[in-house]
Structure 1
């Protein structure tokens, strides 16, 4: 017997996660072999190619918003986790403090410096810079550091009085020199082959020069050296190249019965701006029996403009006048990604790197399966 083919409307209905006033329904996916009698839901690469889509909404250097349609939640979550924890970046790992007379304790200052995102030559960080290894027991500290695995930085700033300031000046920016120390005061000190790889325009510097490190007053200074190394987010959050990387399911809003007049205005206020709009009831709709619009020609009715802007607050389900008139849901296989780079990588490149990483993991798994003894 030939497999039963469900209608497209039925297949679309099965993808909706129901959002109700008290509970969420139809959470579990059912498009797997054996769940629907007589239907063939075995995974097929050609079917996947036909259904899979990538929709880009925003593609800036720092932020990217896009949708992945037609994939399983496990794949979407794998990409999210790779973005957070497995794409390499550079961060300060060791801080050598020669003088710190500020009010910030040494360990707190070191922690603040480690969290400053750095950027530089992408080719240098990925291809030239190698992974730093910890010295073996008995070896001196720094014995494994060299120009191939360590970026050297320094910060040497002292606060002095401004002799040209007006008497009684209280503004620290006018009364003192170097009253505030910012990330832009960190200097890159290339050595070895780094002079060639990390040239002037590719120098390793903080992604945001205006990050405040400390406040000083006359007589106080900070004199330190720092070693930055390559790492990944699973080792420490400071190596994560994104802040943040997240996804959400596409919301759906279905108006099942007319919502008119003042009720339509109240209905729109239940959602973020731009989700619900208004249209006048047409003459044709007003003449159609059973439509709910009879006798309301020209009156304002609520329509869905852009469900993607909805945050699924379920506010509309709290009001009696909307009971039975609206259904809320989310599309199970439509993931809206938001990727914000800390500056070392372009946001769209981050996602491409995550796909490459997932592909390499799949290749490694396939090779291991081939090598398994029968």
Structure 2
């Protein structure tokens, strides 16, 4: 259940045992004579998700109360297993630019496409013929010519020539079969129309026929839906002793702006989220025993930047669906294994 940042801070304060190493200890036998086995009810009570910042391209959120293996699995699935659509095959009918065919095709293949991956099926096999259910076709045909009547002293290529720059916005979707109806109002197109692909000069021409298909980031980075998917642990700054008034300004400057504030001649930890864990304060002997720098081992601060195929708030649910499907596959495999062992016995 989503909670506010204040709720999250209170949660951190009342659970000091969550400070320390990243590895989990919720399993029988870790503490002699004590049972710390995993509990679903306890997990539900401790789990917190809180969106801290949302923009059209990025999302920052907190995930609290899970083991590092779960947080890392979520990150890796977002990078490598959430499917997208990217250009997989290109037929070069003509390319008289100074850019080699392989380099130009590589650039075009990396262009993020605004197509809902859920609208296409996976290609049945690498050698199967393209079909309207698994392939989107784009054509790129651009020729550069000199503009008539331009002053000879003009140096700006945009004023001298037609189409001297080839942009992603010049890629035209070529619908086939029932795709015109299927994508009515949501035409497949590049995420950004102003990505420069190559430059041309009078007489030069580029003519490409491109096939876009569904894939995942583990096959090629062009299929990854995120530009950044990272997390870090929430810093936890503990003031063990009061900081003398004459050292408070110096203490405050040891941290990034906004982390430490001085209120009523007292040093206060205002916003530990802004701390970069630089440990600069430990360089000064006068602060050696007055402060302790820790991190909350199960409080993960995620930063995810979408490349445009998905809205950023859609990436985490899609990754969770994939994780759940993996768990279901494991359960089915175990059921079959136990069933076969029972029959053998």
Structure 1 residue aligned with 2:4: none
Structure 1 residue aligned with 2:273: 308
2:194 equivalent among 210, 219, 223: 210
Structure 2 residue aligned with 1:331: 296
Q: Secondary structure at the match of 1:35?
A: coil
User: Map of 1:32-111 to 2, 5 A cutoff?
Assistant: 32-111=27-106
Query: Does structure 2 conserve the Cα–Cα contact (< 8 Å) formed by 1:51 and 1:69?
Result: yes
The answer to whether residue 174 in structure 2 is matched with residue 183 in structure 1 is no
In 2, the alpha carbon distance for the partners of 1:193 and 1:99 equals 29
Structure 2 residue aligned with 1:174: 159
User: Map of 1:1-374 to 2, 5 A cutoff?
Assistant: 12-17=15-20, 26-120=21-115, 122=116, 125-126=117-118, 128-134=119-125, 144-199=129-184, 201-261=185-245, 263-281=247-265, 301-372=266-337, 373-374=340-341
Instruction: Name which of structure 1's ranges 342-351 and 317-326 shifts more when overlaid on structure 2.
Output: 317-326
In 2, the alpha carbon distance for the partners of 1:320 and 1:115 equals 52
1:164-192 Cα distance to aligned partner (Å, 9 max, x none): 43331111122222121111111111111
In 2, the alpha carbon distance for the partners of 1:259 and 1:167 equals 72
1:62-107 Cα distance to aligned partner (Å, 9 max, x none): 2111111101111111111111111110000011111111111110
- State the number of aligned residues: 329
Instruction: Name which of structure 1's ranges 37-46 and 68-77 shifts more when overlaid on structure 2.
Output: 37-46
Q: Secondary structure at the match of 1:361?
A: helix
Note the aligned Cα RMSD (angstroms): 2.0
1:296-317 Cα distance to aligned partner (Å, 9 max, x none): xxxxx43211101111111221
* Normalised TM-score (structure 1): 0.83
Structure 1 residues 134 and 360 mapped into 2: Cα distance closer, same or farther (>3 Å)?
closer
Which structure's CA Rg is the greater one? 1
Q: Which runs of 5+ in 1 are unaligned?
A: 1-7, 18-25, 137-142, 282-300
Query: Does structure 1 conserve the Cα–Cα contact (< 8 Å) formed by 2:25 and 2:36?
Result: no
In 1, the alpha carbon distance for the partners of 2:53 and 2:299 equals 17
* Normalised TM-score (structure 2): 0.90
In 2, the alpha carbon distance for the partners of 1:135 and 1:325 equals 63
Q: Secondary structure at the match of 1:50?
A: helix
In 2, the alpha carbon distance for the partners of 1:272 and 1:9 equals 21
